[in-house]
């Protein structure tokens, strides 16, 4: 994954993966991305949740999500 900070400069085109970690409490739905982002990148991005691929969406239903400890 490409990381950009003052010590490690990378171009955006070097980034191939972004990991997002959420602290899910009692939510049934979480918003992941904005509408504009999804529209712009829907053909080149995917979500991988529990090793299963999904098309990119603005949010994710966590109602039946199994917590991993």
Give the tens place of pLDDT for each residue, 10-41: 555 677 888 888 888 888 899 999 999 999 99
pLDDT exceeds 80 at position 6: no
Distance between CA atoms of residues 41 and 56, nearest Å: 8
Domain count, the chain: 1
pLDDT exceeds 60 at position 61: yes
Domain membership flag for residue 33: yes
Mean pLDDT estimate for the chain = 79
Listed residue (32, 29, 22) closest to 62, CA to CA: 29
pLDDT exceeds 70 at position 4: no
State residue 66's pLDDT score.
Answer: 64
State residue 65's pLDDT score.
Answer: 65
Burial class for 56, CB neighbours closer than 10 Å (0-12, 13-18, 19+): middle
Q: What is the domain extent for residue 33?
A: 20-61
Domain membership flag for residue 67: no
Model pTM greater than 0.85? no
Tokens in use for 69?
């400890």
What Cα–Cα distance (Å) separates residue 1 from each residue in 13, 17, 26? 11, 5, 30
């Amino acid at each position: 994954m490409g990381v950009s900070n003052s010590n490690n400069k990378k171009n955006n085109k070097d980034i191939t993966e972004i990991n997002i970690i959420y602290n899910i409490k009692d939510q049934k739905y979480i918003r992941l991305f904005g509408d504009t982002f999804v529209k712009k990148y829907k053909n080149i991005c995917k979500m991988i949740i529990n090793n299963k691929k999904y098309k990119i969406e603005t949010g994710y239903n966590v109602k039946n999500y199994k917590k991993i400890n």
